[in-house]
Amino acid sequence: MKTLLRFLRPYKLQTFGVLIALAVNLAGVLLVPTILANMINIGVSSRDFGFILNQGGYMLVAAVVSGAGAFACSYFCADLVTKVGRDIRNAVYDASLAFSGGDFERFGTGSMITRTLNDVNVIQMAISITIQMILPVPFAMVIGIALAWSVDYQMGMMLLSFVAVVALIAVASVKSAARIFQRLQRFIDRMNVRLRESITGVRVIRAFGKEKTEQESLDEAFSEYATNAIRVNWIFATFDCSAFFIMNIAEVAILWLGGNRVGAYAMEIASISACVEYAMMILFFIMMAQIGALMLPRALVCIERCREVIEHAPSIADGPETALATAADAPAAPAPAGDVVAHFGNASFRFADADEDTLHHLNFLCRRGTTTAIIGPTGSGKSTIAKMLLRFHDVTDGTVELCGTDVRELTQHALREHISYVPQKAWLFSGTIADNLRYGAEDATDEELWHAIDVAQSGFVRELPEGLGHRVAQGGTNFSGGQRQRLSIARALVKKADLYIFDDSFSALDFKTDAALRHALAEEVRDAAVLIIAQRINTILNADQIVVLKDGCIQGLGTHEELMRTCEAYREIARSQLRAEELEALMDDANAKGGA
């Protein structure tokens, strides 16, 4: 609720506009029957046509004013709702940008998308419903009862009691209906789960010949839903019909009381109908509000879900430094080869909800002009190493330094200026190829782009009719996995950096392309440090140093040959990927070199 108020605050104008317009509108609406009653009363008693004309004028004004009120209300409502919706969406998205990897994974991509889009839709609809279906109730009640009171106090009291009774019933029914809705929701979820399973699992289901069982379980979910939906409909019909009945009673009661009061000179004949109308209108608004109110619990959940994102404090905060200590002196000067670019000093990492460290006391250096490779099983934490350098995750113990500065001392922006990264999942953005390649270096020339394309073995770009201007679909889905990966490598190469990180970036490439790319790459990144995270041993055979990671610990550190001799974990990987003869050849090779 507080969150919602926060988003409403900037729109005081619209909020007051809505309230005033509603009041004006309802006053006008209720005045029309009042004036009509006056006209008839006078028409019957005094036959003063001048007075009637006069009243006709008032009625016209009331009708026009109330119309204008409705018009303004619709406008303010639409304006307010869409602006609030936009602001919440922006807030959710902007909040997500500051999230660390762990923060984001806590929510999950699917859930974040839902929060940004669907949840906000629900919130918008709820505000709209509140304004149009629920807010009129208090206005109508106050104005209607006041008008009835002005006709006759007994009338006013009777109306008040009717309204009170109906309002109580409405509140009670909304409460019970909300419960039933929650239950219905469970059946809907089940139906969705079953459906999704039968669709995504169609191959397995058919392979096992389980079509019948799946269909039965689908049918069961469908029937359960139908039974409960019908039950909900019945409950609604019950409420609906009882409200109908109460309206009848109210109308007759007003006629009866009205007759007596007119007979007692307390009010005039035509006002009876006016009172009937006030009653009907209030009851009607309560009915509407009752339907609208059912929508609100769900919207509250959605607001809460958006709030979680907006108010989530990012677990990684910027450091104070905006530039590297070394880079500040001579940013353009070519740094000497061999200096340390990245340094892991006894670095450990543990996920927030884990009992055990994912990475244990890592110690290694990446030097300029050399290639460091990390190999190990998937669960071993290889990607986490890259993410620690980029500060998608922070070390929980020890340090990670870039060119001698602790990465946590830097702003994230400054840190990432110096690193060029090829993520495991090659992701491109909609736009042109050129847009994508310039992602890390806005002012790169076309030649530079073509050069990066060649290095990344993305010759296919040259065959595209529009070349660099070729459209890239969302996520790059109009390219194959391998093409995406190569473009993503090219994109990283366009950005000049001190450290290039390739996170399992060669896996979608065939062996041939992989090899050619590595050759070209070696030339390209001579002045920087390179960190390659790999699955395939062939990819890293020639690295200057290989870090063998297993269960988050460094099992071996050295060149391929050294590791073949000394590191059992490394040999195990080699054995699983290579055939015996090749292995033998490599072993011999290693021994020979080692011996030489």
Q: Which of 113, 168, 337, 464 binds other proteins (CB under 8 A)?
A: 113
- Three-state SS letters, 537-589: HHHHCCCCEEEEEECCEEEEEECHHHHHHHCHHHHHHHHHHCCHHHHHHHHHH
Residues 271-290 that bind other proteins (CB under 8 A): 272-273, 276-277, 280-281, 283-285, 287-288
Identify which range of 63-71, 154-162, 317-325, 462-470 contacts other proteins by CB under 8 A. 63-71
Q: Which residues pair with 340 in a beta bridge?
A: 367
- Three-state SS letters, 120-135: HHHHHHHHHHHHHHHC
Residues 246-275 that bind other proteins (CB under 8 A): 247-249, 251-252, 255-256, 259-260, 262-265, 269-270, 272-273
Name the minimum Å distance from CB 157 to other proteins. Answer: 18
Residue type, 591: N
Name the minimum Å distance from CB 423 to other proteins. Answer: 5
Residue number with CB closer to other proteins (67 or 345): 67
CA 457, CA 583: separation in Å to the nearest integer? 29
Q: Which of 150, 161, 176, 215 binds other proteins (CB under 8 A)?
A: 215
* CB-count exposure of residue 93 (10 Å: 0-12, 13-18, 19+): middle
Residue number with CB closer to other proteins (425 or 471): 425
Tell me if residue 419 falls in helix, strand or coil: strand
Name the minimum Å distance from CB 338 to other proteins. Answer: 26
Residue number with CB closer to other proteins (311 or 397): 311
Q: What is the DSSP-derived secondary structure letter of residue 313?
A: P
Q: Which of 202, 325, 328, 522 binds other proteins (CB under 8 A)?
A: 202
Q: Which of 3, 15, 154, 198 binds other proteins (CB under 8 A)?
A: 198
The crossing angle, in degrees rounded to 10, of helices 136-151 and 12-45 is 30
Residues 419-438 that bind other proteins (CB under 8 A): 419-421, 423, 425, 427-430
Closest Cα to residue 162, out of 55, 281, 72, 63?
A: 281
- Please check whether residue 95 is in contact with residue 313, taking contact to mean a CB–CB distance below 8 angstroms: no
CA 283, CA 163: separation in Å to the nearest integer? 7
Residue number with CB closer to other proteins (304 or 397): 304
- Please check whether residue 561 is in contact with residue 585, taking contact to mean a CB–CB distance below 8 angstroms: no
Residues 1-60 that bind other proteins (CB under 8 A): 25-26, 29, 32-33, 35-36, 39-40, 43-44, 47, 49, 52-53, 56, 59-60
CA 395, CA 421: separation in Å to the nearest integer? 19
Name the minimum Å distance from CB 4 to other proteins. Answer: 17
Name the minimum Å distance from CB 57 to other proteins. Answer: 9
Q: Which of 165, 172, 237, 352 binds other proteins (CB under 8 A)?
A: 237
**416 lines the binding site for other proteins (CB under 8 A):** yes
Buried b (16+ CB within 10 A) or exposed e, 59-86: beebeebbeebbebbeebbeebbebbbe
CA 516, CA 513: separation in Å to the nearest integer? 5
- Please check whether residue 535 is in contact with residue 549, taking contact to mean a CB–CB distance below 8 angstroms: no
Identify which range of 142-150, 155-163, 237-245, 450-458 contacts other proteins by CB under 8 A. 237-245
Tell me how far CA of residue 347 lies from CA of 239, 320, 378, 555, in angstroms.
65, 21, 19, 15
Residues 316-375 that bind other proteins (CB under 8 A): none
Q: Which of 164, 165, 168, 241 binds other proteins (CB under 8 A)?
A: 241
Size of the residue set binding other proteins (CB under 8 A): 187
Count helices and strands (H / E) in the chain.
24, 12
Q: Which of 27, 143, 163, 243 binds other proteins (CB under 8 A)?
A: 243
Name the minimum Å distance from CB 111 to other proteins. Answer: 6
**179 lines the binding site for other proteins (CB under 8 A):** no
Q: Which of 482, 490, 546, 554 binds other proteins (CB under 8 A)?
A: 482
**85 lines the binding site for other proteins (CB under 8 A):** yes
Structure tokens at 258: 């009205």
CA 376, CA 372: separation in Å to the nearest integer? 13
Q: Which of 102, 467, 481, 558 binds other proteins (CB under 8 A)?
A: 481
Q: Which of 3, 15, 102, 104 binds other proteins (CB under 8 A)?
A: 104
Residue number with CB closer to other proteins (185 or 445): 185
Name the minimum Å distance from CB 447 to other proteins. Answer: 21
CA 85, CA 118: separation in Å to the nearest integer? 11
Here's the x/- map for other proteins, 534-573, by CB under 8 A: it reads as -x--x---------------------------------xx
End-to-end Cα distance, the chain: 75
